[in-house]
Amino acid sequence: MSADQTYYLTIALINIILAFAGTRINDTEGKTQSIPFLIGSFLAFAISWFLYSLELNIFIEVTSTILSTVFVWGITVFSFKRCEVKTPWRLISCLFLANITIQTFFTIEHNINYVLHTASIFTPIAFCLSGHLFLKKKADRSPSDIIVAYAYFSLTAVVITRSILLETSSALFSLTMASSQIIWPIFSVILGVFFLLSFTEEAQKKLTTEVITDTLTGLFNRRMFDEQFKRLLPTLSRDKHFGALIYLDLDGFKSVNDEYGHNIGDKVLLEFGSRLNQSSRGKEVIARIGGDEFVLLVENAGQDRTTAHQSALGLAQRIQSLMKEPINIDGLMLQIDCSIGIHILTPDAKNVPLEVKAADAAMYQAKKDQHHRIVFSDNLNKPRYNILNIGIVEIDREHQNIDNLLNSLLEKKTDLTTGFPFLIKMVDLHFKNEVKISKRLRLNFSKEHHLHHTYLLDSLKKIGLKESEHVIREHLLMFIKLLEEHIKKYDRNLNIEVVEIKKMG
C-alpha cells in the first residue's frame, strides 16, 4: 500500500469514527432532528476518501466527487436543522444539483483546475451559510458553536485563496498543495469534535437548568433560592446594607384548582410567575418554593431599616397591583390576589431558615387577617415560649426554670453576657438531674435519649457571644424549637413509664 493510499484510508477512518460517534448523541427533546444529517454527511465523506485508496478510474472519481458534494451540502442541511432555522430545501437542492453537475462534468473531462474553481464557488456558499447560522441564528450558542462557525469561515477563505492562486501564481499554488492535504482532515476533525461537544454542552446546560429552575414557571426553585440566599448574607454583613425577603401566597388558588382543574391552575401559576418578573427591577431573586408560594429576595433594599422598609413595601404594592388585573386563560377570566409577608434582612442576618421562617410567618398572618394584605414580620406579636410539661414534678419544675430564663433573654430582661452562660449551666444540670431521676424511678432512659441531650447541649454551646444580639436571639428560638421536639419525643415517654409503673403497683 502506497503512502497516498494510507493517507486516504486514515482520513476515511477518521470520518467513519466521527459518524459513529454521532450515533451516541441525541437531539434535545422537542428540537428538530438534525443528527441523521450529521451522521450521513460524515459517512459520505468517509466513503469519498476511501474510494481514492482504490485503483482510480472515471467511475470512482465521479462517485467520490458526488459523495464529497453530499458532505458539503449534508452538513449545510444539518446546520439549518441544528440551529432550528427553516431549511430552504428548494434553494439547497438547486445548488446541490448544480454543484454535482458541474463538478462531475469537469471530472469526466479531467479538468482539475475547473473542478477546483467550481468547489471555490459552491463550497463557500454552503459554508458561509452554515457559519452564519451558528454564529448569528442559533439560540443559546455555546463556545463550541462559535468554534464551528469560524472553522467554516476559515476553510472558505482557504478554498477561495487556492482558487485565486491557481490563476495568478502557480508557484504559490504548488506550495499550498501539501497544506491542502492537511487542511481537510483537520477541518473534518474540528467539525466533528465540536459538533459533538455542542450537543454535550447543550445537554449539560439543560440539566443545570432543570436542577435550579421550577419546571412549570421557569423561575428559580427552592434549591437555587437557598443557594442565592446563602451567598447574599455575607454581602449584607460586608457592605452594611439591608435586604428584604418578600413571601407571597396566592389567595383562592385551591378553589381554582378544584373548580377548573390542574391544567388551568398551572396556567395561573405560569401567569403569576410572569407578572412577578414584570414587577421585578431585575435585581431580585425570584423563586417558586412551593405549590402556590413564591419569594422575592431583594439584595439591596437600602442603607437603613426605614429605607429598606419603604423599598420593600413599594415593590410589594407593585406586585399586588399587577396581580389585581384579571387573568385571561383561554377566554376564562379569573381574579387572583395574593397575601404578602415581608421580612427585612439586617447586616447581622446569618441563618437562612430563620429569616425565611420570619417572612413565612408574616405571610400567614396576612392571609389569616384578611386576604391580599401586606404584613411585615416586625409587626407580628411575639408569642411567649412555654416549654411543655410532661407530668413529672421535678422535671417539670426544671423545665419551667429554663423556660423563664429563655423568655427573659428573648425579652431582653436579662443581659446576654451573664444570662447565656448561666443558661448553658442550667441546661447541663437539668440533663444530669433527668438521668438521676430516671434511675431513681427505675425508668428506661434510652441511649438515644442521652445522645440527644449531648446534641442539644452542643448546639447551645455553639452559639457564640461574639455574634450580634439579634443573631443570638434567633439561635435561641431555634434551640427552643429543638428542646420542645426533644420533650415530645423523649421526655413524655418517661411519664408514660411512670404511669404504667403506678398501674402495676
Instruction: Note whether residue 493 is domain-resident.
Output: yes
Looking at the predicted structure, is the pLDDT value of residue 116 above 70? yes
Instruction: Note whether residue 216 is domain-resident.
Output: no
Cell of 339: 397575601
Q: Smallest Cα–Cα separation from 238: which of 349, 108, 105? A: 349
**Are 364 and 429 members of one domain?**
no
**Are 301 and 247 members of one domain?**
yes
Examine the fold and report which residue of 337, 357, 379 is the final residue of a domain before the chain moves on: 379
Looking at the predicted structure, is the pLDDT value of residue 505 above 70? no
pLDDT for 403? 84
CA-derived radius of gyration, the chain: 36
Helix axes 3-21, 170-212, angle to 10 degrees: 20
Examine the fold and report which residue of 211, 245, 279 is the final residue of a domain before the chain moves on: 211
**Are 182 and 315 members of one domain?**
no
> 400 vs 20, which has greater pLDDT?
20
pLDDT for 73? 97
Helical H segments across 296-415, by residue range: 305-323, 352-369, 393-410
Instruction: Note whether residue 259 is domain-resident.
Output: yes
Q: For residue 343, what are the β-bridge partners? A: 245
What is the rounded average pLDDT of the residues 307-315? 92
Contact in structure between 87 and 126 (CB atoms under 8 Å): no
Instruction: Note whether residue 217 is domain-resident.
Output: no
Looking at the predicted structure, is the pLDDT value of residue 379 above 80? no
Q: What percent of the chain has pLDDT over 90?
A: 43
Catalytic residues: 292
Cell of 1: 500500500
**Are 146 and 242 members of one domain?**
no
Which structural domain range is residue 497 located in?
A: 393-504
Q: How many domains are contained in the chain?
A: 3
Examine the fold and report which residue of 185, 211, 237 is the final residue of a domain before the chain moves on: 211
**Are 265 and 180 members of one domain?**
no
Contact in structure between 423 and 409 (CB atoms under 8 Å): yes
pLDDT for 183? 84
Q: Tally Cβ neighbours within 10 Å of residue 465.
A: 10
Q: How confident is the model at residue 496 (pLDDT cuts 50, 70, 90)?
A: low
- Cα-based torsion angle of the residue sequence 438, 439, 445, 450 in order, rounded to the nearest 10 degrees: 90
Q: pLDDT by residue (tens digit) across 279-288?
A: 877 678 999 9
**Are 247 and 359 members of one domain?**
yes
- Dihedral pair phi/psi, residue 227, rounded to 5°: -65, -45
Instruction: Note whether residue 195 is domain-resident.
Output: yes
**Are 374 and 403 members of one domain?**
no
Instruction: Note whether residue 386 is domain-resident.
Output: no
Looking at the predicted structure, is the pLDDT value of residue 77 above 90? yes
Instruction: Note whether residue 143 is domain-resident.
Output: yes
Residue 237 to residue 351: CA distance in whole angstroms: 12
CATH number at residue 143: 1.20.1070
pLDDT for 388? 60
Helix, strand or coil for residue 337?
strand
What is the rounded average pLDDT of the residues 404-414? 80
**Are 366 and 263 members of one domain?**
yes
**Cα atoms found within 13 Å of the Cα of residue 130, Cβ hemisphere only:** 32
Looking at the predicted structure, is the pLDDT value of residue 465 above 70? no
Is 143 exposed, middle or buried, given 0-12, 13-18 or 19+ CB atoms closer than 10 A?
A: exposed
**Are 116 and 81 members of one domain?**
yes
pLDDT for 132? 97
**Are 255 and 370 members of one domain?**
yes
pLDDT for 381? 56
CATH number at residue 250: 3.30.70.270
Q: How confident is the model at residue 13 (pLDDT cuts 50, 70, 90)?
A: very high
Q: How confident is the model at residue 383 (pLDDT cuts 50, 70, 90)?
A: very low
Instruction: Note whether residue 418 is domain-resident.
Output: yes
Helix, strand or coil for residue 289?
coil
Q: What does the mean pLDDT of the chain come to?
A: 87
Contact in structure between 323 and 338 (CB atoms under 8 Å): yes
**Are 230 and 353 members of one domain?**
yes
Q: How confident is the model at residue 498 (pLDDT cuts 50, 70, 90)?
A: very low
CATH number at residue 472: 1.20.120
Q: pLDDT by residue (tens digit) across 229-268?
A: 999 989 988 988 999 999 998 888 888 888 888 899 899 9
Contacts 24+ apart (CB under 8 A), 182-189: 183/155, 183/158, 184/11, 185/10, 185/11, 185/14, 187/151, 187/155, 188/11, 188/14, 188/15, 188/18, 188/42, 188/45, 189/14, 189/18
pLDDT for 488? 82
Contact in structure between 384 and 373 (CB atoms under 8 Å): no
**Are 120 and 257 members of one domain?**
no
